[in-house]
Amino acid sequence: MDGEDMLNTTTPLPLDSITINGQYDESVGFTITQLLEDAAGLAIKYENDLESTCDIYKDVAFGTSFDYEAQCINGYTRATVVAYMDADFDPDNCEACQVDDLSDMGGKFCAYSVEIPCETMSVDCGEPSAAPSGSFYPSSAPSESPSVSSAPSESPSTSPSESPSDSPSTSPSASPSAAPTTSPSSAPSSAPSAAPTRCPRTQPILIDTIGSSPFPDGMPPIEITYQNTTHVSFTVTNTWETTFTNVYTQYHQGGFGETECLEEENVESFTEVDEYTAVCMHNVPISIVNVWVVDGNNALFSPIDDAEIPECCHPPEFSQVPIVQYTFKLNCTHPCPPEEGDEDYVPPAQRRLSSEKSERKIEEPALPQPKAVSSADKPSTDGKEGHFCVSEDYPCGDDGSRVNVCHYSARDGYKTFCVPEADSDVLAFYKKDYCGPCVRGFGEKTARK
């Protein structure tokens, strides 16, 4: 199709064009096979480390295959395949690897954006049958009288029995009756039914730990208490069975990248440290929170727990004291809409009005989480809307128009990069990466052209 008409015409990607060869959680191996009859050339773009890699091929015969291994984020990666249909296709003039919006290209082509899972999925095989299967051959002769069945017949009888059974069944039926009973029950139930389950808030997501000591199983030190897309409130609690000498909490407070770090001393077991309210990112409704736990009494943590508390938290000079850092990602969007009676509920007629009396302002929902879309719907690079990280949150560069991001690689560890906002979109494919400078004590800062 022509570039300007690419959204008006669709050609499905042939089956077996993409085959998964190996799923390794952090990466995935896959094969792309040319199964389009009229394709004269291919451009294949996929995620490789922090940058995208794009390969261009000419005169690709039908059935030709190419093997790749791509990096993953949150269990998925994305590959873009552009098939050129022009017989005079010239790889030197191919624009698929340079343009940000494929609709800007000329020529006749088909473009496909495919999301590939990187984790294997278990399949429920079901339970074994309750009785052995029947024989392959009938008995030599039929029995002289009907046998007594040890199991119910394969289908129900054509009419009901003449009278009810002598006693009630020992267990409830597998499904409700097709129609209501003809008369009410003889007596009311002994107790009222349980109240409907309230929609729980989302749980904080642990994205990094510095140190070897985890928090108690199923008991993270952070719990979300309030979400309204622009702010998220949370409590920090000592969930261990010991007293810690210091607990530091660092969270995003201002709208221009400012952070706040607060200390609490001598926090006893199962004691709530405090409740905090963090500002969420402009275009992605999440907020990053760091918690440093100091075991000055050497009661629980390991001597190899050597996390470093940043100077902005104003820590004293700890000497050979076990410290563990936990980094959490908090979702700022409530999974369910507020109900009448909830603290953040606003009647429908008032939802677009700001309330000066309320400390927590209810706003219209923020932009949704990024999702896999066609190449034509990718965020543009000529504006600040739609990108994974924005300069308003973590500005950098001479004019502050770039954004700081933290990227992890197995070779170099965590490193801070100062990149254009459009380049931050690739962070959505790396579960260890996040917006803002790296909070670790190492990792140099790198600027990208």
Domains of the chain plus CATH, in order, are 3-117 (2.60.40), 205-331 (2.60.40), 375-447 (no CATH)
pTM equals: 0.41
- Of residues 24 and 195, the one with the higher pLDDT is 24
| pLDDT at position 199 over 70 | yes
Check pLDDT > 70 for residue 129.
no
Which of 38-42, 190-194, 232-236, 357-361 is the least confident region? 357-361
List b or e across 365-403, with b for residues whose CB sees 16 or more CB atoms inside 10 angstroms: ebeeebeeeebeebbeeeebebbbbbbbbbbbeeeeebb
Which of 197-206, 285-294, 349-358, 436-445 comes out lowest in average pLDDT?
349-358
The reported pLDDT for the residue numbered 249 is: 95
Average model confidence (pLDDT) across the chain: 74
**pLDDT at 358 (0 to 100):** 37
Enter the DSSP assignment of 207: E
As a whole number, mean pLDDT of residues 256-275 equals 89
CA distance 30 to 86: 27
Q: What is the structure's pLDDT at 128?
A: 60
Residue 432 in contact with residue 208, Cβ under 8 Å?
yes
What's the pLDDT band for 88 if we cut at 50, 70, 90? confident
Half-sphere exposure of 77 (CA within 13 A, CB side): 29
pLDDT at 265: 94
pLDDT of residue 374: 37
Query: For 333-361, what is the mean pLDDT?
Result: 53
Q: What local confidence, expressed as pLDDT, does residue 204 receive? A: 92
pLDDT mean over 236-256: 90
Range with top average pLDDT, 46-50, 413-417, 422-426: 413-417
Under 8 Å between Cβ of 270 and 326: no
- Cα separation, 426 vs 388, whole angstroms: 8
